[in-house]
Amino acid sequence: MSGILYLVPTPIGNLSDMTFRAIDTLKESDLILAEDTRNSGILLKHYEISTPMRSYHAHNEHKVTEEIIQQLKEGRNFSLITDAGSPGISDPGYLLAKACVENDIEVIALPGATAFVPALTVSGLISNEFTFVGFLPVKKGRQTKLNELKEEKRTLILYESPHKITRTLKDLAESFGPDRKASLSREITKKFEETLRGTLEELHKISEEQNLKGEMVLVVERFNP
């Protein structure tokens, strides 16, 4: 009988956001597949989890997935965790989950921490229909993607790093129009958590003037002709 792959969310900043079920699942697994074993080691030590770990990240997932599938077929239970948040959401997870489905191996995703849900719900923008964009292309295809999104009739959610947020806000303001409303959340669940709201032009000016830090979630008003 095949084993089970568990997709286990981990805190995106505040260690207290770890669920009891997540801790139990990691303790009971035969192996933990971790995006960064050094980073995850801190979390596991905090919760006294002694399960062995193995690296599983964007640079080796194509190479090791077949081997992991074989071990799951032999009845071992694995948990997959990333540096923060839910596996598969702009982090490794999709490829392995897809391979499990194709091989009739059960995949169970635990509910838990993810950045875009709290950012959306505090944005003040329509939240019943939204499109999760993730990270915009850095170079090739960036303008094409912006043109595709500018008339999207659902609220948009984007991820961005602190050193690229100013450029992204500028590009969005130029493509969508400077008066499009938006909300920028950073350092979610951490001590200096902050949400800035305004137009794309206003947020761009703030970003230019301030050295904003932390991973960013940008929520942009839908196109409303």
So what's the pLDDT on residue 83?
94
Q: Which two tokens stand for residue 159?
A: 């991820």
Please name the fold of domain 4-109: Cobalt-precorrin-4 Transmethylase; domain 1 (3.40.1010)
Q: What's the longest Cα–Cα distance across the chain? A: 59
Write out residues in the chain with pLDDT < 50, as ranges: none
Measure the CA–CA gap between 108 and 97, rounded to whole angstroms.
9
Torsion over CA of 120, 126, 129 and 130, rounded to 10 degrees? -40
Number of H helices, E strands in the chain: 8, 10
Domain ranges of the chain: 4-109, 116-220
pLDDT at 1: 87
Q: Which fold has domain 116-220?
A: 3.30.950
Residue ranges of alpha helices (H) inside 4-130 are 20-28, 37-46, 61-73, 94-102, 116-121
Query: Which residue do the tokens 């992991």 mark?
Result: 68
pLDDT of residue 91: 87
Q: Using CB atoms within 10 A of its CB, is residue 204 exposed (0-12), middle (13-18) or buried (19+)?
A: buried
pLDDT value for 127: 96
